[in-house]
Amino acid sequence: MQTFLHGRDLIGDLDFSKEEVETVLDVAWDLKRKRALNEPHAYLRDKVLAMLFFFSSTRTRGSFEAGIAQLGGHGAFIESKTTQISHGDTAKEIGEIYGRYFDGIAIRHCDWKIGNDYLNEVARNCRIPVLNMQCDVYHPFQCLADLMTIMEKKGRDLKKKKIVVSWAYAASYLKPISVPQSLVIQMPRFGMDVTLAYPKEFPLMPEIEQQAADEAKKWGTSFEIVHDMDEGMKDADVIYAKSWGPLMTTDDPVKGKALQDSYTDWIMDQRRLELAKSDAIYMHPLPADRNIEVTDEVIDGPNSVVYDEAENRLHAQKAVMALTMSYATIFK
């Protein structure tokens, strides 16, 4: 158990070692138990978390704000449009100044080719932990909640369990690629065989796909890419089917939408669910485009764990905050 995480940033999924992620999960389960039993756990009394949002949120804001309160602290919700960022405040200035006001800074910035760089620039100029609530490259807290949920449903030994991370059609907008990217680099470290399924115009960042292959080799698992949704579903223990934009092909929203609309048949439905193992679980970070991205029959069916998954955002985030923020201003 790696216990000294005080003052650490969590921006990319591999910022924490496998052993450190296991520590986060152990703490998350303990905090989940304490909440269920109504046991007080105010480990961050008088601590304040700045929550800076450049991108709208339902679960992320709610779970971080509730989580810091349950830990005895306070969450300051800051919508970027209400600040002077658009009028000249730089990432360096946010890091320097908010680092002196707060005990942790959590940032959600998903703009393509901007978000991750922004978080890292804040972190380079900040004396307190910087936590990634989602950027254009990674979504580490979603991935921690996903891993926690998979272990609850499939056991802590995930060796040779297959997860398929599949693209699915959505009509709403071109979604970030950060969720699938976090999944494919994190899950091999815990023994899972990863199949990544997408239409050929929807790859992930090449360096992320290479990193996923490298992690699979390191941990003795497998990583494969297929371009057929049905093929990806075969014998899966975990199905994670969601939409993302064709950002490696084009970042033009009109061209991207045209590409997206050419694959309306990539829907997660009951027929595809039945290609997986009978006890396979269906996961999605939400919100989903119902009956476009996934049918009601699947997302509301007995194989779906999407609400347990959403709940575990709270517990996983509380664990990271408790571990990183308790002595942040002393140790960073």
Q: What is the pLDDT of residue 296?
A: 98
Q: Is 223 exposed, middle or buried (0-12, 13-18, 19+ CB in 10 A)?
A: buried
Q: What is the pLDDT of residue 327?
A: 66
pTM of the model: 0.96
Indicate the fold that domain 13-138+312-331 takes in CATH: Rossmann fold (3.40.50)
Rounded to the nearest 10 degrees, how much is the dihedral formed by the CA atoms of 296, 299, 304, 308? -130
What is the location of CATH 3.40.50.1370 in the chain? 13-138+312-331, 140-310
pLDDT in tens, 20-37: 999 999 999 999 999 999
Which residue type occupies 298? Answer: V
Burial 45-64 (b: 16+ CB within 10 A, else e): eebebbbbbbbeeebbbebb
Indicate the fold that domain 140-310 takes in CATH: Rossmann fold (3.40.50)
Contacts of 229 (CB under 8 A, 6+ apart): 166, 167, 168, 197, 241, 266, 272
Pick out the chain residues at pLDDT < 50.
Answer: 329-332
Q: What is the pLDDT of residue 2?
A: 77
Give the span between the Cα atoms of 86 and 260, in whole angstroms: 31
Q: What is the pLDDT of residue 4?
A: 86
Give the span between the Cα atoms of 27 and 37, in whole angstroms: 15
Give the span between the Cα atoms of 53 and 190, in whole angstroms: 31
DSSP string, 221-241: --EEEES-HHHHHTT-SEEEE
Q: What is the pLDDT of residue 332?
A: 44
